[in-house]
Amino acid sequence: MPDLHLGLIGDNIKQSSTPRLHRLAGRQNGLDVQYDSLIPPELNKTFDQVFDACRNGTYRGVNITYPYKEIATQRVEIEDAQVRRIGAINTVVFSDQEPRGYNTDYSGFLDAYRKERGQIPPDPVLLVGTGGVGRAIAFGLLTLGAHDIRLTDCDPERAHGLASDLRAAAPAGTIITVGETVDDLAQGVEGLVNCTPVGMVGYEGTAIPTTAMRDAAWAFDAVYTPVDTQFLREAAQAGLQVISGYELFFFQGVNAWDIFAERPLDQALLRADLNAPAPAPL
């Protein structure tokens, strides 16, 4: 029996470094961490069936990733009002009571942005992709002081839904725009944000073309597998300050560890351990 049993529920997670992050965090604290990758289609189960098996088993908690972050909100109690507004979660803790849901994509993005850009306001900013992680990042942009957020998505209804929720939570005078053409929305923006799966392993390409980078100063990609996506390579070549999805991965993981284990972490050591070659399997 491990000291801490955790898991990740998602569809495209074979390349994820999240299991390793939590095992290394456990090693820092002298804990044996078992962290399972749980892919519902490969298990021939629905998300609810996998979630219930975790809840009724030995799991302390699970992380949730694409495409289940929004439907997972229906299975948990959410105490934080901002997370309820986001309408998506990525971290769940099981207990004798109702499972509790958190969003460390939201808190992790705040940490990642501030690490790279400090207190510089992020807007005007264009965000492409308004699903689970897009919602978390959009509300993070509000928290960072953005007053001009432009949204686009292949599902216009989803984009309009997020826009409505942002307007309800935003300070007076905040402009929330929904459009279809990335190039048109990108005119005059400071920041470009990709929250689609385009660019990750198995979804190669870019959702934000170089033609949209003319006016921008910084770029963020929520994708971190690979770290060096086509979008970020092209943004760097265009002279933009780049914020890697790896930073979001790292900080959402650190924040999730704190929720799961309530144990301290040496973040510098954790980064070094993550960047070291993984030991060969025995």
63 strand-pairing partners: 8, 91
Q: Look at residue 281 in the predicted model and tell me its pLDDT.
A: 45
- Same domain for 119 and 242? yes
The pLDDT of 118-126, averaged and rounded, is 95
Does the annotation mark 69 as catalytic?
yes
Name which of 157, 101, 113 is nearest 137 in CA terms.
Answer: 113
User: Could you tell me if residue 281 is inside a domain?
Assistant: no
Nearest to 148 by CA among 117, 185, 112: 185
Is the pLDDT at 280 greater than 80? The verdict is: no
Asked whether residue 68 is domain-assigned, the answer is yes
Task: Given the residues 14, 45, 69, 115, select the one marked as catalytic.
Answer: 69
15 has pLDDT over 90:
no
pLDDT in tens, 167-226: 999 999 999 999 989 999 999 999 999 999 899 878 889 999 999 999 999 999 999 888
Using one digit for the tens of pLDDT, what is the confidence trace for 64-88? 998 899 999 999 999 999 999 999 9
What CATH number did the domain enclosing 188 receive?
Answer: 3.40.50.720
pLDDT of 106 over the 80 cut? yes
Q: What is the CATH number of the domain that holds 260?
A: 3.40.50.10860
- Name the domain count of the chain: 2
- Which two structure tokens, joined as six digits, stand for 5? 């049993």
Given pLDDT bands bounded at 50, 70 and 90, which one contains residue 278?
Answer: low
Is 114 in the same domain as 238?
yes
What is the end-to-end Cα distance of the chain in Å, rounded?
21
Record the tokens describing residue 234, joined without a space.
């092209």
Residue 233 sits in the same domain as residue 267: no
Q: What's this model's pTM, rounded to 2 decimal places?
A: 0.90
Which region, left, alpha or beta, applies to residue 59 given φ > 0 means left and ψ of -120 to 50 means alpha?
beta
Please write the tens of the pLDDT for every residue from 87-98.
999 999 998 889
User: How confident is the model at residue 13, as a pLDDT?
Assistant: 83
Give pLDDT tens digits for 18-50: 999 999 999 999 999 999 999 999 999 999 999
191 and 256 share one domain: no
Instruction: Provide φ and ψ at 2, rounded to 5°.
Output: -70, 160
- Regarding whether 112 and 238 lie in a shared domain, the answer is yes
Residue range of the domain that includes 223: 106-246
Decide if pLDDT at 148 tops 80.
yes
Taking only the tens place, the pLDDT of each residue in 226-265 is 899 999 999 999 999 999 999 999 999 999 999 999 999 9
Do residue 79 and residue 185 come from a single domain?
Answer: no
Neighbour-count burial of 157, counting CB atoms closer than 10 A to its CB (0-12 exposed, 13-18 middle, 19+ buried): exposed
Beta pairing partners, 127: 151, 193
